[in-house]
Structure 1
Amino acid sequence: MKLETLLELIMEAVAENPATSLIRKKTFQLIEELRSEGNTELAEALERNVRIRTANPDMGTYKNYWNHLAQRLEPDEATGGGPDMHHKQYTFLVDECGLKSGEIFLDIGTGSLRGTRDIITYLEAGNFHGMDVSEALISFSQERVAASPEMSSRRPSFCVDDRFRFSSIFPDKTFDFAFAKSVFTHVYPDAIWDCLTQLRRVISPSGRFFATIFKDNSVQIYRGDVRKMYFNTVWLAETANLSGWTLEEIGNTRVGQYMCLFTPN
């Protein structure tokens, strides 16, 4: 792992929840210790990172950001994507990526089901599992399913989690197919590392993980904040390899954003 990548992951792990006063206090204590020991460059980089993430209490973390949106917008507005996104995602996942009805599917960042209603009814009963950071959006999704006999008959499951703890939430599941649209576009590098390492534990040897990003290879690792995040795909490929995946860049697709395919290596 490049030194810059390691330092970036350390900084993100320390500052993962800057809205928590204790973590923020300890972070600034660490910054001062680094500065007093002569590590001025690292101290300044860490301080800059933390101050950006604490500038707006509603925008500091991915979970805060989505709860912020869910409180202010209608569920489908919060998740975005347009009224026909469920048709576009069905076509992409089934017709173009080869998702089979008998495969066990994990929808990371399931939101309001704006994009996956057709996937639920396509899959065999019990094969759809949705995860999101927002309690409000998961609650809405459960109500949406309950109101639809066709979706209810497929018995989809939903859970709330903000650190991708797949193996503890799904201890007896092995997933054939995972999908994360508009997730990596709103998280910091540590969250991508968490997602890839945790998902690798529960994906089948022939499994596929499709995820969208905003690509910018002019930056060292990333730029932006939780509202819109851009990543260098060279860094992403390196991080994927370290966590047990091979990255293939698919590019722009009908579902929007820049698509990446991760397969176990």
Structure 2
Amino acid sequence: MSDTSAQAFSPYDDTELINKHVAGGNHRDVIGGLWDELGALQADFLKANGLRPQHTLIDIGAGSLRAGVKLVPYLDSGNYYAIDLQAALLEAGYVREIEPAGLAGRFPRGNFAANAVFDVSGFRCMFDFGIAQSVFTHMPIARLGACLSSVAPHFRPGGQLFVTVFLAPPGVADKAFTQWPGGVATSPDRDPFHTTLHDLQGIASQASGWQMSVIGNWAHPRNQQMVRFTRQG
């Protein structure tokens, strides 16, 4: 899982910039801040939707492990896995967050990897749950189809992948739209990206072996909406 090539859609794709922020000690802020709030929100949401300690979970776009520091203590040892485009973010999260919290024994280094193509095959694990929080808000929604295809063989039947997106009403989807709460200005063609329910349904219809349901509001402070993909047997 060493392929880190990627088309640049947002500042998060700029490895030199990310490395500079990480070297300056900003591994928390560079992924959008709200470290404790969003980490806890993801963990609480997943637990409320069935995540239990015995389940395996893949954190897609895990960044510097904002959710990981909340989930590693909850899940059984070795059951949390993470991928991200930026190796420096994962390493900073591990060295500056996981190790100081005494969690390295529950989250071995072999459980995280950097790549740009949603490749989880190297973990040799079947997943019960997954989350991609604030991933497809920073790239065109068409990339979600590639993600679903890539991870599908590694999810158990009934497994659930939760994905956040910015949504815009159909009548204004072709222009900038301000999300409330949060006041984030989203766009159909530049970061941060929004999409529509119609486009999501189109992706779901072509994603073999997945069934989509829209959860919507999950109390995200910047109005990212939650979508569930369930792996069919």
1:241 and 2:195 are equivalent in the alignment: no
The Cα offsets for residues 152-196 of structure 1, whole Å up to 9 and x where unpaired, read as 2212421001111222x23x2110000010001011234211101
**Matched residue type, 1:262:** F
Cα deviation for residue 80 of structure 1 reads 2.0
Alpha-carbon offset, residue 224 of structure 1: 3.1
Q: Give 2:76's aligned residue.
A: 124
What letter matches 1:259 in structure 2? M
Deviations 1:8-53 (A, max 9, x none): xxxxxxxx73xxxxxxxxxxxxxxxxxxxxxxxxxxxxxxxxxxxx
What residue number does 1:68 align with? 17
CA contact (8 A) 2:11 2:17 kept: no
Amino-acid identity (%): 26
d(CA) in 2 for partners of 1:113, 1:69: 15
1:65–1:260: structure 2 CA closer, same or farther, 3 Å change rule?
farther
Q: Do the aligned partners of residues 166 and 224 (structure 1) sit closer, same or farther apart at CA in structure 2, a change above 3 Å counting? A: same
Counterpart check, 1:203 vs 2:155: yes
Rounded to whole Å, the distance in 1 between the matches of 2:219 and 2:114 is: 28
Report the Cα distance in structure 2 between the residues aligned to 1:67 and 1:103, rounded to whole angstroms. 35
Distance 2:16 2:200 in 1: 27
1:231 to 174, 185, 195: 195
Whether 1:91 and 2:78 are equivalent positions in the alignment is: no
Asked if 1:178 corresponds to 2:178, the answer is no
Question: Greater helix share, 1 or 2?
Answer: 1
Structure 1 segments of 4+ aligned residues over 6 angstroms from their partners: none
User: Pick from 222, 227, 230: which aligns with 1:263?
Assistant: 230
Shift of 1:146: 2.1
* Contact 1:63–1:162 under 8 Å retained in 2: no
Q: Which residue in 2 is equivalent to 1:9?
A: none
Unaligned segments of structure 1, at least 5 residues: 1-15, 18-58
CA RMSD after TM alignment: 2.2
TM-score where L is the length of structure 1: 0.70
| CA deviation profile, 1:229-248 (whole Å, cap 9, x unmatched) | 10122221221221121111
Question: TM (normalized to structure 2)?
Answer: 0.79
